[in-house]
Amino acid sequence: MRYNWQHKEWPNFTYSTEEVEAQLYEFSEKAGKVNGLMEGLPEESRVDSIIELLMTEAIKTSEIEGEYLSRKDVMSSIKKNLGMLPETEKKVLDKRAEGIAELMTDVQKSYKEPLSIEKILSWHQMLMKGNDSMQGGKWRAHSEPMQVISGAMGREIVHFEAPPSSRVSKEMDQFVTWFYHTGKEGVNKINKPVIRAAIAHLYFETIHPFEDGNGRIGRAIAEKALSQTLKRPVLLSLSHAIENKKKDYYAALKIAQRSMEITPWIIYFVKTTLEAQISAEKIIEFSLIKTRFLDRHRNILNNRQMKVILRMLKEGPEGFEGGINARKYVSISKTSKATATRDLRDLLGKKVISRQGQGRSTSYILNLH
């Protein structure tokens, strides 16, 4: 088996964008729309949207690698890194959540800075927090081949083999140089943000410079490439879109790592990034709808009603599964069933909610529009 890094043309990939020109245009339109929506939000809602997107990216980029983190710990860590937590609340128990949150916020904050070896190693050091078996911030150095495999012992299938460890330092120097020269001031500038991000991710994943964490760092690099080319921090969760169809991601990567002609990878990555942008647009549009909804009803709700409605709104654009009913109302507001029934009847009369179903199946949804 011959891999792309073994070709004499490495790392000069070839590709065509003809098949994805419409999607590239749509991505640019939606990126501009998302930016405009964010600017139209009140400061508090804008910050909440950024935190939601950062948290989704942090959680999903870890889930792709089979690591499941506490949503609460990740959110606390992101708020801590954004300077939004009081000193008394700054302790996060899960160091892995602290590390990935630190990485995600740094990718946003430092997007203008040139990508450097030092930055990549520092990101890896953040990522390896809480991982006692792995030292962060160091290239892999073992003499055995770095292979991506699956299957039972003795029947392993090798999906990919990376360049030997002895080549990693030189390959990474070359990668960082490529990243600079394809940026906004580079001699080989790539004007289309998604194309630059697609190649950057594939290039980095092929080198596979670390013992662990390559996927998460590679997706962070892709987001940095997007942000630099857009000239603002990108607002989407690329990992969420990848995780939704994880098998497609690994299949596309496997094919791309066996050829210097990467048009199929470009097509896959553009489609996935557009899906991520559409999902981000929905989250931010929901923030705007939520803000307007609360402005309309804030002064006519009692404290119990406000508590329940805020809890329902936390579920995002998809809403509370099955809606709200008296039993859920009692659980959230810590009140009696009689009071819950009275509060729900009041919300129905004020047209804050709408009824679904009949009898024991009765539930209610918010009238957001």
In a domain, 186, yes or no: yes
End-to-end alpha-carbon separation of the chain, Å? 57
In a domain, 230, yes or no: yes
Q: Answer yes or no: do 44 and 192 share one domain.
A: yes
Token pair 């997107």 is at which residue?
53
In a 3-state reduction of DSSP, which class is residue 354? Answer: strand
Please say if the pLDDT value at position 211 is more than 70: yes
For range 230-238, the mean pLDDT: 93
Please say if the pLDDT value at position 188 is more than 90: yes
For range 311-315, the mean pLDDT: 90
CATH number, domain at 81? 1.10.3290.10
33 Cβ contact list (under 8 Å, min separation 6): 281
Please say if the pLDDT value at position 129 is more than 80: yes
Number of domains composing the chain: 2
Q: Answer yes or no: do 269 and 315 share one domain.
A: no
For range 83-94, the mean pLDDT: 71
Q: Answer yes or no: do 283 and 316 share one domain.
A: no
CA distance 305 to 302: 5
For range 151-163, the mean pLDDT: 84
Kindly report the pTM of this predicted structure. Answer: 0.89
Last residue of a domain, one of 257, 287, 317: 287
For range 237-266, the mean pLDDT: 96
pLDDT at 201: 98
State both tokens at 50: 């950024």
In a domain, 271, yes or no: yes
Please say if the pLDDT value at position 314 is more than 90: no
Please say if the pLDDT value at position 237 is more than 70: yes
CB atoms under 10 Å from CB of 284, counted, come to 25
Q: Answer yes or no: do 144 and 247 share one domain.
A: yes
Report the percentage of the chain scoring pLDDT > 70: 98
Q: Answer yes or no: do 312 and 276 share one domain.
A: no
pLDDT at 48: 87
In a 3-state reduction of DSSP, which class is residue 8? Answer: coil
Q: Answer yes or no: do 145 and 242 share one domain.
A: yes
Please say if the pLDDT value at position 87 is more than 90: no
Please say if the pLDDT value at position 280 is more than 90: yes
Q: Answer yes or no: do 254 and 308 share one domain.
A: no
Please say if the pLDDT value at position 50 is more than 70: yes
Please say if the pLDDT value at position 88 is more than 80: no
Q: Answer yes or no: do 261 and 313 share one domain.
A: no
277 Cβ contact list (under 8 Å, min separation 6): 27, 30, 31, 34, 236
In a domain, 293, yes or no: no
In a domain, 61, yes or no: yes
Please say if the pLDDT value at position 73 is more than 80: yes
Q: Answer yes or no: do 93 and 228 share one domain.
A: yes
CATH number, domain at 341? 1.10.10.10
Please say if the pLDDT value at position 316 is more than 90: no
In a domain, 292, yes or no: no
CA distance 69 to 77: 12
Contact yes or no for 31/230 (Cβ under 8 A): yes
Report the percentage of the chain scoring pLDDT > 90: 80
For range 318-331, the mean pLDDT: 89
Last residue of a domain, one of 261, 287, 313: 287
- Position 358 confidence tier, pLDDT thresholds 50, 70, 90: confident
For range 51-64, the mean pLDDT: 93
- Position 322 confidence tier, pLDDT thresholds 50, 70, 90: confident
In a domain, 86, yes or no: yes
Q: Answer yes or no: do 227 and 280 share one domain.
A: yes
pLDDT at 185: 86
Contact yes or no for 310/293 (Cβ under 8 A): no
Last residue of a domain, one of 287, 320, 339: 287
Q: Answer yes or no: do 203 and 245 share one domain.
A: yes
CA distance 118 to 224: 15
75 Cβ contact list (under 8 Å, min separation 6): 51, 55
Mean pLDDT of the chain: 93
In a domain, 294, yes or no: no
Domain assignment of residue 312, given as a range:
301-366
- Position 320 confidence tier, pLDDT thresholds 50, 70, 90: confident
Q: Answer yes or no: do 90 and 112 share one domain.
A: yes
- Position 153 confidence tier, pLDDT thresholds 50, 70, 90: confident
